[in-house]
Amino acid sequence: MSEAEHIHMPVLRDEVVRSLDLHDGSVIIDATLGLGGHSEAILEHEPTATVVGIDQDEHALELARARLDRFKDRFRAFHANFFEVSRVAKDAGSETVDGIVADLGVSSLQLDDPDRGFSFRFDAPLDMRMNEASDAQTAADLLETLNEEEIANLIYRYGEERKSRRIARRIVEMRDQGRPVRTTADLANLIERAIGRSPKDKIHPATRTFQALRIAVNDELGMLERFIENSIDVLNTDGRLCVISFHSLEDRIVKQAFQKLSGKCQCPPRIPKCVCGARKRVEVLTRKPIIPIDTEMNENPRSRSAKLRVCRKLSDG
């Protein structure tokens, strides 16, 4: 078993394969390749399919290429952000494709890497960049440059943390004392002291703040909206877009984007005329999101919050 196979269990594996409606010669883009679990499932299920993988993590690309090497020229991988799906499709020689899948979760590889700063389980520099080679600000940079109100709003908006102001106040107090938050342990300990921890808490008190910083550092929600729009442009008629989200902010964006693309107006009720530009380009195939069965959640606890939504591109899209 390769390193990638050992540390990666793709979420909703069979459900994704069924939703893609694979056929002879299908061309699929795995827009969040990670360690290649979904790509492997697709290539195994349909022997004539080809997969184009996209990831912005060079280490993940290296492991995925090794894992999927046995599929030869049926698999190709590109270093890019998933919103660049149109450009990657062209670079791969496919103007349009038959299906696109995106798993929005942070990969096990990143979470379990003590040097990446995604998890408070390890003491590491507070980085959180998906693409380590980018010039983007790290999480530590954000906490050193934003003011107290901006930090509080960021944590509340992206982490849905009700005690965000208390956390932000403590971060700025530490900064003003010449002790800026620079490591995961610094931040996790600060949050626990700022808001406390109850034996009844199901998650660590720092969980929502770490989520918020990761989303902000990587502009995940802005990229997601662009990705969905770009994906519909790339799909063939009847092509499927499958998106797996892991928290309410992501799922809300996917749901609303699919609704708008299906022609449902997103304007406030009191506006007399639609100005949102909703146009029927897709059919939404999941009235309610597909979630993992109990067996999968027991075998892979990280899947417990996963939600899969699927849409089909229409002929006039």
Q: How far is CA 18 from CA 1, 13, 38, in A?
A: 25, 9, 12
**What distance in Å separates the CA atoms of residue 79 and residue 52, rounded to the nearest whole number?**
11
Residues 6+ apart with CB under 8 A from 204: 120, 188, 192, 197
| Sheet arrangement for strand 307-313 | 75-79, 50-55, 27-30, 97-103, 235-245, 307-313, 282-284
- Residues in contact with 184: Cβ distance below 8 Å, sequence separation at least 6, in sequence order: 117, 119, 120, 122, 123, 124, 125, 126, 210
Record the tokens describing residue 274, joined without a space.
Answer: 């639609």
pLDDT for residue 316: 63
For residues 228 and 257, is the Cβ–Cβ distance under 8 A?
A: yes
Tens of pLDDT, residue by residue over 201-253, are 778 899 999 999 999 999 999 999 999 999 999 999 999 999 999 999 999 99
How far is it, in rounded angstroms, from Cα 78 to Cα 55? 7
User: What does the longest C-alpha to C-alpha distance in the chain come to?
Assistant: 64
pLDDT in tens, the chain (317 residues): 444 444 568 999 999 999 999 999 999 999 999 999 999 999 999 999 999 999 998 989 999 999 999 999 999 999 999 999 999 999 999 989 999 999 998 776 667 777 787 888 889 999 999 888 788 899 999 999 999 999 999 999 999 999 999 999 999 999 999 999 999 999 999 999 999 988 777 788 999 999 999 999 999 999 999 999 999 999 999 999 999 999 999 999 999 999 999 998 877 877 777 777 778 999 999 999 999 999 999 999 889 999 999 999 998 64
Q: What is the pLDDT of residue 279?
A: 86
What residues contact 76, with CB distance under 8 A and at least 6 apart?
A: 50, 51, 52, 53, 92
What's residue 133's pLDDT?
77
Q: Which residue has the tokens 């002790």?
A: 179
Q: Which residues is 8 bridged to in the sheet?
A: none
51 pairs with which residues across the strands? Answer: 28, 75
Distance CA 266, CA 116 (A): 38
pLDDT tens-digit map of 21-47: 999 999 999 999 999 999 999 999 999
Strand partners, 243: 102, 309
Pair type for strands 50-55 and 75-79:
parallel
